[in-house]
A = this chain, B = another copy of it.
Amino acid sequence: MFAKVLVANRGEIAVRVSQTLRALGVAPVAVYSEADAGAPHVAAAVEAVLLPGRAAEETYLNIDRIVQVALDCGAEAVHPGYGFLSENPAFALACGAAGLSFIGPTAESMAALGDKVRAKDMARRAGIPVAPSSPVCRPGDAAVGEFVEQWGFPLLVKAAAGGGGRGMRLVNRRRDLDGAMELAGREALAAFGDGRVFLEHYIANPRHVEVQVLADGFGHTIHLGERECSIQRRHQKIIEETPSPALTPELRRQMGAAAIAVARAAGYVNAGTVEFLLDGQSGEFYFLEMNARLQVEHPITEAVLGLDLVEWQVRIASGESLTLVQDDILPRGHAIECRIYAEDPYRDFAPSTGRLLRWRPPSGPGLRLDSGVVQGQEVSIYYDPMLAKLIAWAPGRELSLRRMEVALAQFVALGVATNLPLLRAVVGHPQFQRGEYDTGFLEWNPAVTSPATSDELRTMARALAAWAAGQSAGAVSSSSSSLAAPGDGAAGRAAVNPWQSAGARRLP
């Protein structure tokens, strides 16, 4: 086992990785940008090193600098988290060249899987169904015509190096195809430095179901069951659950076997996730891609299996063998995760920045919070707007959804807009509760992206606002006394009953 590991990330995942490292007796070292000097991921580590600058390119994406910091502090390994450099083969190579263990797959696997066309070929050769697609092509190529002839419209133009919906276009008509290919190619070139595109058959309203895989360096690969990730906004998952309400035991077995086959074909080592599109009606599924890293939504798998995936990542990277066998993997109960974003669900998911003035996450039986923020913190424009993840587990699906619904209703966040009301509306939606949903859920249910407050609550809100506005001039300013001024700790108590401080109230 390592003695010291550099965590090359920020936010909730850096906190979460550090927590497991400390529990394993490994000293985590944080890196942080100037915008993150007081952030929780710094407090979660034992040592912390500044990466000068604020922009991601200067800091969390700065391979040379991060490798140097790891060497300087005496770390033996680097955990990349997700996002940032986690799927960058050049970073894995740089770590290896510097003598640092990279806690993840090899650079070769990563490169092979990062290329959508290579990855699909690999899956096809391994006998796994993939969505019908063309080779890499340009407008006017013969391959374009052949593909259109066979599969028709609508189709997707996709970037070979793509991800996160960038460089992707849905095309409904032949006359839009060339333009879409040009556009997607330019977008991909700008985003990934690789403008190659290909065509893919469009599967309407699929479910997005993924299978977690764990593989050690001795050829032992198992799968850890599936996660249903169909609730998405802008191709970004926001709610995930396991088990998937759409899977039969037989389908689960098939998808698990397919995931293992893909991982083996890629020579995959460490934790990874194989993503599939599932036709909810026919039960047919298609390989989509394999994510060569820990996923945001890994906690729901941990919740039902009673495992710590980061622990296994670290053990495998340190050369231990995977002592779990497939028969050990027995899910218990049901888990759901909601991603809490600083964004306004009622204004087209516009990101929201500012200071988190109130932050009171719920806690209690079956709840887990992985958080990257604390009250008083500035939510900046520099990085991903995900603040935290709330995970609810219960013996059954109905209870875990209700636990989540109650917890979301009790989650206090003020200062920046969050998607909490949207999450609550989805989790409480009858269709969602029946498990009848796919990736089009938000489009079909525009009501969940509009405020749905009862008149009674709105009237009460107005009354409370009028009351609270009255508090600002008098009683609430005394709240500072408990924060700082010595000797007058009791002064704030007059605020407890508003009518006790009526004399002091004065409205503008």
Contacts and interface: CB of A to CB of B under 8 A. Distances in A.
A333 B305 CA distance: 11
Nearest to A363: B369
Given A302-B365, A363-B361, A369-B363, A403 B480 contact: no
A19 interface: yes
Interface in A345-370: 354-355, 357, 360-361, 363-370
Contacts of A489: 354-355
A222 to B, nearest CB: 15
Given A365-B20, A472-B484, A395 B308 contact: yes
Given A22-B402, A299-B365, A369-B364, A480 B482 contact: no
A447 interface: no
Given A367-B368, A402-B22, A308 B479 contact: no
A479 B484 contact: yes
A471 interface: yes
Contacts of A37: 496
Contacts of A265: none
A185 to B, nearest CB: 41
Given A365-B16, A402-B25, A38 B496 contact: yes
B311 A406 contact: no
Nearest to A359: B360
Contacts of A471: 484
A37 B498 CA distance: 13
Contacts of A24: 399, 402
B306 A333 contact: yes
The 4 closest A-B pairs by CB, nearest first: A480-B480, A476-B484, A363-B369, A23-B402
Interface of A: 15-16, 19-20, 22-25, 37-38, 43-44, 299, 302, 306-308, 310-311, 332-333, 354-355, 357, 360-361, 363-371, 374-376, 378, 394-395, 399, 402-403, 406, 410, 471-472, 476-477, 479-480, 482-486, 489, 492-493, 496
8 contacts: A19-B364, A19-B365, A24-B399, A308-B399, A311-B399, A355-B492, A357-B482, A476-B480
